[in-house]
Amino acid sequence: MVLKKKSQSKLFFISFLLISGTIFGSIIANNLDGFLINNLNVAVKKFFLQNLKGACENRVNLFANEFFKNIKTVLFLWISGFIPFGNFFLGIILFLKGLSYGFTSSILFSIYKFKGAFYISKFIFPINFALMLIFIFVANHSIKFFKSTYTQNKNLLKQSMLEYVFIFIFSVSYVFLITLANTYFLN
């Protein structure tokens, strides 16, 4: 199935925001001073020592924190489909998400060098890649829903709203499964 030109441009825009955020996050992380790097180094070592030993004190709390953090992002992306300036907020959210991914990965690599690349591939990349896919999916449908609210009659709008609610339910389920797998099976 060939994507329409408008769908391609939406996906390009959404992907561009995530990637540019990742690049800026990497630049920021690589330009930190030594004091901040040392403080981050202590926090990162503590985190990986807990995870490598399987000594997470409470996996339920870890799951709840990760799940609700990611659900907030999905919720904000989804709500932006109802707001007139939603595309602007959507762009900010995606850029900041990319910024955090780039910053985290660059800090790990700058502290641990090639061992950091292993940590990134084991702890950071799988969950964040899966989450990026759902963020792109929700953002794409959010833009589509916002545009459809102004071009459809009331009967089609009800159907469009049902589809949009289903997208939210699917997204929450997806985030739940990804977070569950990451918390209990992948680490």
Say what percent of the chain tops pLDDT 70.
87
Q: In the chain, what are the domain boundaries? A: 7-186
Q: pLDDT means per 10 residues in the chain (187 residues)?
A: 65 84 85 78 72 62 88 94 87 90 84 81 85 92 85 73 93 95 78
**How confident is the model at residue 68, as a pLDDT?**
94
Q: Which residue has the tokens 């916002």?
A: 146
Question: Cα–Cα distance between 21 and 97 in angstroms, integer?
Answer: 7
pTM value?
0.82
Whether the Cβ atoms of residue 29 and residue 103 lie closer than 8 Å to each other:
yes
Q: Which candidate, 132, 173, 175, 178, places its Cα nearest to that of 16?
A: 132
The SS3 call for residue 56 is coil
pLDDT digits (tens, 9 = 90+) for 16-30: 888 888 888 888 888
